[in-house]
Amino acid sequence: MAEKPLAADGLSPQQLLDLYRKMVIIRRADQEALNLQRQGELGLWGQFLGQEATQVGATVAMESTDWIVPSYREFGMAMCRGIDPGEMLGYFRGLTHGPWDPRRYRFLPFTISVATQVPHAVGFAMGCRLEGSREVVLCVFGDGATSEGDWHEAMNFAGVFQAPVVFLCQNNQWAISVPLRRQTAGSIAERAQGYGFAGVRIDGNDVLAVFSAVRSAADRARRGEGPSLIEAVTYRMGAHTSADDPTRYRLDSDLAPWSSRDPIETYAAWLRSQALLDEGQADSIDAEAEGMAEAMRGKLRRLPLPSPAASLFDRVYHDPPASFLKEREEFEATLEPVE
């Protein structure tokens, strides 16, 4: 068992157990989604295996009124925000661009273009402040994203204008097949200093460390003390996506040290050592995860096909001109009925 504890930050036994429960459930969803992709039900899947502690710890540390601006790998965070995983899979099946209402869940759409969400998050945080709200924005990205111009511009802007934003880098050590050392000289966390705010590197496989760092950074931002950068060091245990074969560029021996630092197993061992988790509770959480996976599968298979005309025309104009409506009619006339 990894030596743990860290202060549990005043979390109750129930809350400590719930961190474990959430990690188990999102891991089960991740595995199920990969299975569904392999069965031809999804176009693509990007696993987050190994990154559960960062995703759960960070989401739980934010207030429910705060905003989360994700990249594409934060399915687990979205689940922690209460978004239905079966509905979300519609995105990976190619049925929709946006399966949830970002305002309702305070969780913005997944962003595939690397780092483009970072300036958006800063602008959003500035907007929250201009409206006089106490909301904070959690902006999430990978280590590869920190090489992008967008990332640096956003960091600079946030530092100059003291935007209420927490930057969370899930440093999973890979940008597809490019290892961290091949594109990042120096430390990601220390870059924050150059932009005039604090940066910290933490163990991203330790759910309590993540919770603690994100909660402190969010509190500072809420008090008007500006942005922070958190580099959560973790490891991408799976492939980049289901379209990738990591055995072409990564050795089994690279994975081995991280397998023994599995975020769920180490946390479970600590919970047991504190008498906060027993076999009965672990079994019932596993059963809950199984039920979630079954419901997710069922929901995905029942998702309706999108209407081609609606997906092309519905969101173009608020008040569509007559010529546009005519074009739609002509397009609809060309469609053959779906069996």
Residue (146 or 266) nearer to ligand TPP, CB: 146
User: If we measure between CA atoms, which residue out of 147, 162, 264 comes closest to residue 206?
Assistant: 264
Alpha helices (runs of H) in 223-278, residue ranges in sequence order: 252-259, 263-273
From the list 28, 81, 215, 236, the catalytic residue is 236
Report the nearest approach of ligand TPP to the CB of residue 150 (Å). Answer: 8
Report the nearest approach of ligand TPP to the CB of residue 255 (Å). Answer: 15
Asked if 57 and 311 touch (Cβ cutoff 8 Å), the reply is no
Residue 43 backbone phi and psi in degrees, to 5: -70, -40
What distance in Å separates the CA atoms of residue 231 and residue 228, rounded to the nearest whole number? Answer: 10
Length of the chain: 339
Which positions touch ligand TPP (CB under 6 A)? 73, 112-114, 141-145, 172, 174-176, 236, 240
From the list 73, 129, 215, 240, the catalytic residue is 240
What separation, in Å, do the N-terminal and C-terminal C-alpha atoms of the chain show? 56
Report the nearest approach of ligand TPP to the CB of residue 254 (Å). Answer: 15
Report the nearest approach of ligand TPP to the CB of residue 176 (Å). Answer: 5
240 is known as an active-site residue: yes
From the list 152, 249, 250, 261, the catalytic residue is 249
Q: 3-class SS at 262? A: coil
Report the nearest approach of ligand TPP to the CB of residue 172 (Å). Answer: 5
What distance in Å separates the CA atoms of residue 233 and residue 250, rounded to the nearest whole number? Answer: 18
User: If we measure between CA atoms, which residue out of 74, 93, 63 comes closest to residue 26?
Assistant: 74
Report the nearest approach of ligand TPP to the CB of residue 173 (Å). Answer: 8
Residue type at 301 in one-letter notation: R
Report the nearest approach of ligand TPP to the CB of residue 76 (Å). Answer: 12
Residue (72 or 313) nearer to ligand TPP, CB: 72
Q: What are the DSSP calls for 93-108, one per residue?
A: TTS-S--S-HHHHTBP
Question: Who's near 294: CB < 8 A, 6+ residues apart?
Answer: none
Residue (19 or 115) nearer to ligand TPP, CB: 115
Q: Retrieve residue 315's tokens.
A: 């969101």
134 is known as an active-site residue: no
Residue (4 or 170) nearer to ligand TPP, CB: 170
Ranked by CB distance to ligand TPP, the top (closest) residue is: 142
User: If we measure between CA atoms, which residue out of 131, 125, 207 comes closest to residue 166?
Assistant: 125
Torsion of CA 68, 69, 71, 72, to 10 degrees: 60
Residue (148 or 327) nearer to ligand TPP, CB: 148
DSSP 8-state code for residue 229:
E
Residue (22 or 73) nearer to ligand TPP, CB: 73
What distance in Å separates the CA atoms of residue 148 and residue 183, rounded to the nearest whole number? Answer: 11
249 is known as an active-site residue: yes
Residue (121 or 175) nearer to ligand TPP, CB: 175
State the catalytic residues: 236, 240, 249
